[in-house]
């Protein structure tokens, strides 16, 4: 993976309140809606994107991140033409409390067919 194609941003939500985080620079723009406190990392490459979450006090729970990207795969649910819910299952063991969990969504590649 070329570093020029990797985009990354992190968010920290301290309270369990619905919050929209936005990040933008000349190469990259993202909006993510978060509902649960925790540390979040978003990575995007040419063919996929991933969301990682770590929660210091919760286990055995699903954390949902709504991202303004379209992606497919286990834990990735397309809601509209513009957004995907990424559902991340936190560890179920006390021994893994605070561990990071990642879900990767594949971008749909459009294949153009030409008729001659």
- Record the tokens describing residue 9, joined without a space: 């941003």
Q: Which of 107, 19, 99 is nearest to 56 (CA)?
A: 99
Backbone angles phi, psi at 95, to 5 degrees: -65, -20
CATH 2.60.220 fits 3-106, yes or no: yes
Largest CA distance in the chain: 61
- The answer to pTM > 0.85 is no
CA 52/CA 40 separation, integer angstroms: 6
CB 77 within 8 A of CB 87: yes
Res 97: pLDDT: 85
Q: Give the pLDDT confidence of 1-18 residue by residue, as tens digits.
A: 455 566 888 888 888 888
R_g of the chain computed on alpha carbons: 15
Segments in the chain below pLDDT 50: 1
Res 106: pLDDT: 96
């Amino acid at each position: 993976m070329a570093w020029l194609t990797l985009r990354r941003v992190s968010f920290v939500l301290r309270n369990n309140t619905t919050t929209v985080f936005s990040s933008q620079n000349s190469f990259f723009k993202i909006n993510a809606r978060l509902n649960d406190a925790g540390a979040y990392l978003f990575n995007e490459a040419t063919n996929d994107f991933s969301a990682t979450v770590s929660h210091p006090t919760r286990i055995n729970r699903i954390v949902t991140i709504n991202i303004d990207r379209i992606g497919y795969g286990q834990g990735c649910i397309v809601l509209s033409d513009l957004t995907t819910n990424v559902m991340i299952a936190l560890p179920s063991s006390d021994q893994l409390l605070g561990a990071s969990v990642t879900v990767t969504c594949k971008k749909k590649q459009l294949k153009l067919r030409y008729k001659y």
